[in-house]
Structure 1
Amino acid sequence: MSAFVVTGTDTGVGKTVFAAALTGALRAHYWKPVQAGLDDGGDRDHVAQLSGVDPAQVLPEAYRFTTPCSPHRAAELDGVTVDLARLALPEARPLIVEGAGGALVPVTRQTTYADVFAWWNLPVIVVARTALGTINHSLLTFEALRARGITIHGVAFVGDANEDSEATICSMGGIKRLGRLPHLERLTSQSLAVAFAQNFRITDFT
């Protein structure tokens, strides 16, 4: 595949770290179209540090909003109207595109990320945590994506191993298990690249 969308089952599940790892492994371009919250520089900066790719491959956002909240509200607080045409995919390939939070996070008052994913017509990788609650969140995410005709490439877990939960999600959801990133005591581009290589097969993404 030349491009993937990375979404999460919730906020803070490790989606950006996984996206950075995949970007580095594929030597891809990275794009997060909407960044809401700039206190720590934003996800683009984190991916630039962790992926190890040329900084020019980490593409600028279409929108950058100040407040760390749902993009639709962050835009309103900044006095900006989101023009969905500005979210058209960049031509650069290979490309990893990261959403914000979960699949049904609103981009505008009328449009969710899942709606935008359907417009992009790219395969989606769902990033799920392994802690309590992940089965419900994961299966709901799969249903929301499939309801829009979106192809789900697979699920990537982040966290400590929970074999039963992971197997249940993949079996009940009819989803391919891509692998699991463990929590890393020291998160660097090198440690992340090693963890990805040890826990994922690059052939699942090519």
Structure 2
Amino acid sequence: MRAIIKWLLFISVMGGFTTSAYAEVYLTPWLNYTGGGELESNDESSYDIEPSASFTLSVETDFQTGRLGLVYSHQSTDVSEVQLKTSIQYLLFQSSIYYALPNEADAYLGIGIGGSYIDANWVDNSTGFAASIFGGFEYPLNQSISLTTQARWLGTVVDNDTAAACNLPSNSSSGCIVQFRTDWMNQFSLGIGVVMKF
């Protein structure tokens, strides 16, 4: 994960050198609702990672007709019915293109690549490659503050070779072992944020 972070920071810094000396910096805290991810038990039952609130911070700068930067996201949640907790984090290098709308707002579309870190007791290899596609709208409130909304797909490689014990509801008499259903996990997120321009 450290190597991924260093690589992303290097690209972000190098990208910054190619932008204008007067490029703006955009800092955006986000509140999101994120869902997706599925586990499978030893009896082939499926359990979903519960949708929950997630928090994101993005730092971007102007680049041609869009923006370039880093985004970090964190989600803490549970797995339905089996009393297991998990934490999912993403760090992505992203690029987006902006399109002006008639009402002074902007629409944007972008992609991101980077890494994920999953903290869960059914995972041995916690880090994996991650990718993202996102789009949304940005509405200026004044010269330095904008309101933004976004829909985002997140996908990541996960460890589905490791399993862990879980707790089934009290009316079940059988044991339970769970692991990720596949080696790729998809998540979807809807968010609202405040863009601060410096």
- Band of TM-score, shorter chain: under 0.3
Structure whose residues are more often strand by fraction: 2
TM-score of the aligned structures, taking structure 1 as reference length: 0.20
Structure whose residues are more often helix by fraction: 1
